[in-house]
Structure 1
Amino acid sequence: MQYVAPIGIGILYALLMSLVREPHRRRLNAVMVGGAGAAYLSGGGTGGWEFLFTALLTYVAFRGLESWTWIGIGWLLHTAWDIVHHIKGNPIIPFAHTSSLGCAICDPVIALWCLRGGPSLIGLVRDRRRSGRPQPGPDPREGVSPGSPSLTPGGQ
């Protein structure tokens, strides 16, 4: 369960974020990854490197305001930082010894979603359900060229 639950948490994160419309979804995720960059500051498990990592993820988050790719990169960087903290025995949640390991499993799930452009998972499920139903016939305008009278205002 310790390995499966973090995957579920990553999927739940993407589902909840799917409720936020674009472009706000991307910007909110940029803020989230920026905040994740400072998650280990109070523990100080790697000394001054904590500040350097926070600065790096702040830059990545800033770039993520306009790019899902940068947000995905930020989550992958955070995954690496989680692994460092797990190995050093300095977990993200001090009383939960394997919390950094769980975070290292969860973050790549979020990163993959971000690297795919942070699509609405709810919209994808809706589209998939619709595609299983019989579709209406072909568009009557299909095959009509843009300059044809049927597409010009007033039919002229």
Structure 2
Amino acid sequence: MNIVVPLLIGVLYVCLNSLIREPHRRRFNAIMIAGAGAAYLSGGGLGAWEFPFVAVLAYVAFRGLESWRWIGVGWLLHTGWDIVHHLKGNPIIPFAHDSSFGCAICDPVIALWCLTGGWSVRDLPRLLSAPPVVATRTR
């Protein structure tokens, strides 16, 4: 359950967010990663190190206003921060001991979606039926 539930939360996040029309979907997710950067700020247990992470994710979120890749990178950075907090800091939800571990499972699901362009679930049948793209090497 410690793995399945966070995976389902990640899938639910993707499904719900994919219903937002572009370009609002990308901008909304850029704001979400900025907020995720500050999630540990009030008690993450890593002291002053929390502030540089907030600054890094604020920059990543700003770049994410125009790029799904930056948002995906932000979720991967947050995954790493979740792991650090699970091992050395305080959990993201103070009363749920393994919440940072769960967040570290959930975030890569969201990152993968972002890194693949933040597509809509409405587009899924079309994406699945498209012929595969074969890379060719040119000289």
| Same fold, judged at TM 0.5 (above) | yes
Q: CA deviation at 1:89?
A: 4.5
Which residue type is aligned with residue 69 of structure 1?
R
- Bigger helix share: 2
Task: Tell me if 1:38 matches 2:51.
Answer: no
> Match for residue 151 of structure 1?
none
The amino acid across from 1:121 in the alignment is V
Q: Contact 1:80–1:104 at 8 Å: present in 2 too?
A: yes
- Cα offsets for 1:69-99 (capped at 9, x unmatched): 0000000000000000000151000000000
Counterpart residue number, 1:2: 2
What corresponds to 2:110 in structure 1? 110
Shift of 1:115: 0.1
Quote the Cα distance in structure 2 between the aligned partners of 1:85 and 1:15. 27
Superposition misfits of 4+ residues, deviation over 4 angstroms: none
Q: Which residue of 1 aligns with 2:96?
A: 96
Partner residue of 1:83?
83
Q: Greater CA radius of gyration, 1 or 2?
A: 1
- SS at 2:43's partner residue? coil
> In structure 2, do the counterparts of structure 1 residues 103 and 44 end up closer, same or farther at CA, with 3 Å as the change threshold?
closer
Q: Unmatched 5+ residue regions in structure 1?
A: 132-156
Whether the 8 Å CA contact 2:91–2:98 is kept in 1: the answer is yes
Assess if the C-alpha contact under 8 Å between 1:30 and 1:64 holds in 2: yes
TM-score (norm 2): 0.89
Higher relative contact order (CA 8 A, sep 6+): 2
Structure 1: distance between partners of 2:37 and 2:85 = 13
Output one character per residue of 1:26-74: Cα deviation in whole Å (capped at 9) or x when no partner: 0000000000000000014111110110000000000000000000000
Cα offset, 1:128, TM superposition: 6.8
Contact 1:89 1:97 (8 Å CA) reproduced: no
Q: What one-letter code is carried by the residue in structure 1 that aligns with 2:17?
A: M
Taking structure 1 as the reference length, what is the TM-score of the superposition?
Answer: 0.79
Q: 2-side partners of 1:88 and 1:65: how far apart? A: 32
**1:15·1:122 contact (CA, 8 Å) conserved in 2?**
no
Percent identity of paired positions between Structure 1 and Structure 2: 73
Deviation at 1:10, TM superposition (A): 0.5
| Aligned-residue offset at 1:123 | 2.4
Which runs of no fewer than 5 residues in structure 2 stay unpaired? 130-139
